[in-house]
Amino acid sequence: MNFTLTKTALKAIYNIGIRSYSLGVKLAGAFGNSKAKKWAAGRKNWRKTIKNQLGSNEKNIWIHATSLGEFEQVKPLIEKIKADNAFSEYKIVVTFFSPSGFEYSKNYELADFKFYLPIDTKIHAADFIKLINPSIAIFVKYDFWFNYLELLQKKQIPHLFFGCNFRENQIYFKPVNKWQVEILQKINRLFTLNKRSFDVLKNHSFSNMEICGDTRFDKVIQNATRCQPIALIEQFKQNKILLILGSSWQKEEDILADYLEKNKEWNEQLKIIIAPHNIYGNHISEIMGKLPVKSLKFSEADENNIEDFDILIIDNIGMLSNLYQYGNISFIGGGFTNRLHNILEAATFENALIYGDNHIKFPEGEQLIEAKGAFAIKDANDFSNCINTFVENKKLLERTQQHAKAFIENNKGATEIVFKGINELLK
> Tell me, what CATH number does 380's domain have?
3.40.50.2000
| CA atoms of 41 and 34, how far apart (whole Å) | 10
Number of domains the chain contains? 2
Type and span of the H or E element at 354: strand 352-356
Range of the domain at 200: 3-214+413-426
- In this structure, the answer to whether residues 352 and 239 fall within a common structural domain is yes
Q: Please indicate, yes or no, whether residues 30 and 138 belong to a single structural domain of this protein.
A: yes
Pair (147, 280) in one structural domain: no
Rounded Cα distance, 18 and 20, in Å: 5
At 55 the pLDDT is: 82
293 lies in the same domain as 166? no
Its pTM surpasses 0.85: no
pLDDT score at 261: 96
Q: Which residues contact 172 (CB under 8 A, 6 or more apart)?
A: 144, 166, 180, 181, 184
23 and 166 share one domain: yes
| Contact (CB, 8 A) for 313 and 305 | no
The verdict on 43 and 91 lying in the same domain is: yes
Residues 96, 97, 99, 100, Cα dihedral to 10°? -70
Q: How far apart (Å, rounded) are the C-alpha atoms in residues 183 and 146?
A: 7
C-alpha–C-alpha distance, residues 90 and 110, integer Å: 12
For the chain, the distance separating the N- and C-terminal CA atoms, rounded to the nearest angstrom, is 43
pLDDT of residue 93: 97
pLDDT at 1: 42
The tally of CA atoms less than 13 A away on the side-chain side of residue 300 is: 9
In the chain, the amino acid numbered 69 is G
Same domain, yes or no: 12 and 148? yes
**Could you tell me if 338 and 195 lie in one domain?**
no
Residue 381 shares a structural domain with residue 286: yes
Residue type, 129: I
Residue type (1 letter), 4: T
Same domain, 249 and 159: no
How far apart are the C-alpha atoms of 44 and 68, rounded to whole Å?
21
pLDDT of the chain along its 427 residues, tens only? 445 557 888 899 999 999 999 999 999 999 999 889 999 999 999 999 999 999 878 899 999 999 988 998 899 999 999 999 999 999 999 999 999 889 989 889 999 999 999 999 999 999 999 999 999 999 998 889 999 999 999 999 999 999 999 989 898 898 888 999 999 999 999 999 999 999 999 999 999 999 999 999 999 999 999 999 999 999 999 999 999 999 999 999 999 999 999 998 999 999 999 999 999 899 999 999 999 999 999 999 999 999 999 999 999 988 999 999 999 999 999 999 999 999 999 999 999 999 999 998 888 999 999 999 999 999 999 999 999 999 999 999 999 999 999 999 999 999 999 999 999 999 8
Regarding whether 267 and 170 lie in a shared domain, the answer is no
Is the same domain home to 397 and 420? no
Q: Return the CATH number at 77.
A: 3.40.50.11720
